[in-house]
Amino acid sequence: MKIYNTLTRRKEEFKPIKEGHLGMYVCGPTVYNLIHIGNARPMIVFDTFRRYMIHRGYDVNYVSNFTDVDDKIINRAIEEGVKSEDISEKYIRECKKDMEGLNVMPATKHPRATEEIDGMIELIGQLIEKGYAYKAEDGTVYFRTRKFKEYGKLSHKNIEDLEAGHGRELKVSGNEGKEDYLDFVLWKPKKEGEPYWTSPWCDGRPGWHTECCVMAKKYIGATIDIHAGGEDLIFPHHENEIAQSEAANEVEFSHYWMHNGFLNIDGEKMSKSLNNFFTVRDISEKYDLQVLRFFMLSAHYRSPLNFSAELMESAKAGLARIKTAVSKLDFLLKTAPGGEADEEERERIKGFTARFDEAMDDDLNTADAVSVIFELVKYINTGADENSSKGLLSLMKEEIVTLSSVLGLIVEEKEELLEDDIEALINERQEARKNKDFKRADEIRDELLKKGIILEDTRQGVKWKRAD
């Protein structure tokens, strides 16, 4: 597997820290509103990377955070006259609904910034002790950017570049207490009405850049295999994460850095002022979200991607072609004669997996991987008929469903369960929970979810509903 590493600006062979294991951290959303389709791109891209690595036999520890304390959340709470945590809780729930609609697997761990404040205070204390950070008179703690000699190694900016104009990107209000205008905030004092935590420096809250390096270390390790996110995070967010983490821990923070390209709308940057701002929920009113996922995977993840109604219609038609091929196989299997596929047919079908893996091994080239699936669709449409053996048809179906699933695409029609079957499974789940067989209980919940049944545990018992 070769990955384009933003750090070195070249494709590199992926070599995990621990053989057969992958520790991956992906920056998650700031939860103050419904996620937009720009937020959806990294979610889909890196979920697909995760799925592919599982397909290749890796044990994946996939961590993606929720930033649940931030100026935008606070401002939204003030506007609505509620607490900040009410806003973050609401939009974490909504984000999870959209992720489910996009068939994005839940992370191994979804840490929240507000649950990790103690770790952030500890990190800031270490940086002060080592001389990499200092406290201003008002209690703000800043990082000494110039002291970290490798600053700029990810974004490939040097101090001279920053002094020539890029430094303004690092400035924050109230910088009178800074030793140097390039220094960035690690801890900021509370303001009236804002959430805050007690620290040795003042009552306040952490800077955004401090959150992720603390959570990555806690849930993966001081050095992780891969850190990922949108290319807009390279500078200053990821650059500042590196500076803090490596200054404190004295080891490389991440061996590989992956960044997806921007999403444009009809050739222009997405913007509310241009009235071309779309949330995932907006798209779900017009399309099955599987179409949005398929659209996102139609281009290489590092390339800019242009969103338009025409391209979405094209994606809808493309996904329908795959589903139709699967439906054809299901129909033929009902009356197929017995028998197994011959050796030549088996080898030909295996060849699709080989070409699919070859595309994905080349820096997650999903566009070429989708092309392989379309080749398989053509093979099914021309090679499968009422005379085909059950063994051959089964192999064809297993191949197309498996490869599509690696991309997170659901191409089999959901089998609608009868109410009696649903109730029987719910009763079995309740019995499993009573016996503390939580693995089986989770399996039943996931099985029902795949078939469009959503469970809700309430004080009155388990309620269920069919997904829209």
| % of the chain with per-residue pLDDT over 70 | 96
Among 379, 450, 448, residue whose Cα is nearest residue 411: 450
114-141 pLDDT per residue, tens:
999 999 999 999 999 999 999 999 999 9
150-179 pLDDT per residue, tens:
999 999 998 887 876 544 444 444 456 899
Among 1, 3, 7, residue whose Cα is nearest residue 252: 7
Instruction: Report how far residue 400's alpha carbon sits from residue 329's, in angstroms, rounded to the nearest whole number.
Output: 10
Confidence of residue 61 (pLDDT cuts 50, 70, 90): very high
270-303 pLDDT per residue, tens:
877 778 889 999 999 999 999 999 999 999 999 9
DSSP code of 143? E
Q: How far lies 23's CA from each of 18, 228, 298, in Å?
A: 9, 11, 26
Cβ atoms < 10 Å from Cβ of 223: 17
- For residues 29 and 35, the answer to whether their CB atoms sit within 8 Å is yes
Dig out the tokens for 408 from the structure.
Answer: 């997170």
Confidence of residue 468 (pLDDT cuts 50, 70, 90): low
Model confidence, pTM: 0.87
Instruction: Report how far residue 133's alpha carbon sits from residue 127's, in angstroms, rounded to the nearest whole number.
Output: 5
Q: Is the dihedral of CA 422, 428, 433, 438 positive or negative?
A: negative
Confidence of residue 186 (pLDDT cuts 50, 70, 90): very high
Does position 146 have pLDDT exceeding 80, yes or no? yes
The number of angstroms, rounded, from the C-alpha of 99 to the middle of its chain's C-alpha atoms is 9
Residue at token pair 């910034």: 113
In the predicted model, what is the mean pLDDT of residues 356-368? 98
Among 63, 60, 45, residue whose Cα is nearest residue 4: 45
pLDDT at 174: 46
Q: Is the peptide bond before 304 cis (omega within 30 degrees of 0)?
A: no
Angle of helix 71-80 relative to helix 84-101, nearest 10 degrees, comes to: 110
pLDDT at 172: 44
- 3-state secondary structure at position 196: coil
Q: How far lies 156's CA from each of 151, 162, 256, 435, in Å?
A: 9, 11, 15, 56
